[in-house]
Structure 1
Amino acid sequence: MTATRRAAILIGVFFLLTEIGAIAARLLYAPVLTIPGYVLGSGRDPLVYTGVLFEVLLVIAVVGTAVAAYPVLARHNRAVALAYVTARILEAAIITLGTLSLLTVLMLRQQPHAEPGALETVADALLALQDGTLLFGPGLALGIGSILLASLMYTSRLVPRGIAVLGLAGGAVITLSTVAVIFGLYGQFSAIGLVVALPVFVWEISLALWLIFKGFNTAALERMPRRSVDAAGAEVAS
């Protein structure tokens, strides 16, 4: 198995893990979001803590997609490949901030002498912050990253152009949707907001499965220059 074939499989696996981590985390920490006065309860909620662990898995997988893809994508366009890595790292950082806000709510439940009204106020603020991270992480940063990756896949022909076009459309739609939510055109968790997230979800699943079972287009790889470093430390194409 060649290095690029292994890279394709790894990228596909990381993309699948992002979907598993995001969906599982959202389902598992639902009590924090849906139970009124959750912070005033006592004890540790194992489901919510498990959800936090899935968020950690999501962060690792988000960064993993970019790190695994960079060596291949940089052979086609180093600047755009680096921009994609940056977008994914930004997304991971924003998700981490949201995870920490949820974890802080759980920690607040362990404060036996805190004033209930103050606890609820702080918890509400932390949950609002978590909503904001969902908007700018798996919303805006994800959309921009999807456009960057899909554009590289389209111009390089590493995967079928139909998959790349789906990524371009999905990334554009979720980015525009985020802007629409910011301006109050509809709610973040409204039916419209969920529907517009579907194209980017389908793009990531389609790309993941193609890379795992088919890999990169061999002819496209052969057309790409191989990059090395000269005696002065500068990157050169060969």
Structure 2
Amino acid sequence: MSTSTAPLPAPARSGPAPAPRRTAALAGALYLLTFAASIPALVVLDPVLSDPRYVLGAGADARVALGCLLLVVNAFACAGTAVVLHPVLEARGSTLALGFVASRLLEAAIVVAGALCLLAVVQLRREVGGAGAADPEGLATAAAALVAGYDVSFQLVPVMAVANALLLGTLVHRSQLVPRAIPLLGLVGAAPLLAASTATVLGVNDQFSPLSLVALPGIFLWELSLGLHLLVRGFRLSPATAADPA
């Protein structure tokens, strides 16, 4: 009497699953979208940011609303980068990956809060503003407070960019998902930008001072080069990325 044995199941693979190409491309596109939305927004929002009596004048409400929409797009793209990358990053460092998601979501919330402040100025001008306002000085003061709220949010964004660079840069540098020169840009650029941003928040530095401008390129090039690399080349899958560094 012969007996047959069922084939044994294949052993489970250890380590994280390979990172799909389309995940990298989507993350890269979202990174580039943050640049495409945030940089034009600064130009489009100039009327409400540069005119302290905007709420009392003829206004450029459609232009300001467009700028706020660009900020919201930037916020969604910002959060999207973390959400899209999380399944790939979690297998290579769950704590850093979760921290990156939390940091990126907080950055997105700060950006949206700034946009809401400027939309509130537009709403004030439409409802009780303009040349015939009953209390022009009080209205101008309220609008200035809302613009100040936007300015505070704008000062905090670089601080969040530093946190993102330290979390994500450490993780991708350790796991070698991208060439190490790319995260090094963020890791090296984090310290000067953190110093300049902290000084700005404390009121001892202007956000557009030479110190701030010198501190910005490291983080700027880190996010730009990461987005381009993920979009064009994808993740670097090598034996070094096939095992959990932990």
TM-score (norm 2): 0.86
* Structure 1 unpaired stretches of 5+: 226-236
**Which of these residues, 204, 224, 229, is aligned with residue 205 of structure 1?**
224
**Comparing 215-224 and 199-208, the one that deviates more:** 215-224
How many residue pairs get matched?
A: 224
Structure 1 residues 222 and 149 mapped into 2: Cα distance closer, same or farther (>3 Å)? closer
AA in 2 matched with 1:126: L
For 2:94 and 2:201, locate their aligned partners in 1 and report how far apart those are by CA, in whole Å. 32
Does the 8 Å contact 2:19/2:88 carry over to 1? no
Question: 1:147 deviation in Å?
Answer: 1.1
For 1:135 and 1:28, locate their aligned partners in 2 and report how far apart those are by CA, in whole Å. 18
Structure 1 residues 221 and 8 mapped into 2: Cα distance closer, same or farther (>3 Å)? farther
AA in 2 matched with 1:57: V
For 2:33 and 2:141, locate their aligned partners in 1 and report how far apart those are by CA, in whole Å. 34
Question: 1:25 deviation in Å?
Answer: 0.9
2:41 paired with 1:25: yes
Does the 8 Å contact 2:52/2:140 carry over to 1? no
**Which residue of the partner structure matches residue 114 of structure 2?**
98
Structure 1 residues 220 and 166 mapped into 2: Cα distance closer, same or farther (>3 Å)? farther
**Secondary structure of 1:218's aligned partner:** coil
Does the 8 Å contact 1:12/1:207 carry over to 2? yes
Does the 8 Å contact 1:145/1:171 carry over to 2? no
Does the 8 Å contact 1:39/1:109 carry over to 2? yes
* Structure 2 unpaired stretches of 5+: 1-17
2:204 paired with 1:188: no
For 1:222 and 1:152, locate their aligned partners in 2 and report how far apart those are by CA, in whole Å. 11
AA in 2 matched with 1:52: C
For 1:171 and 1:5, locate their aligned partners in 2 and report how far apart those are by CA, in whole Å. 28
Of all paired residues, the percent bearing the same amino acid is 40
Q: CA RMSD in A?
A: 1.8
Does the 8 Å contact 2:52/2:144 carry over to 1? no
**Which residue of the partner structure matches residue 185 of structure 2?**
166
**Secondary structure of 2:91's aligned partner:** coil
AA in 2 matched with 1:192: L
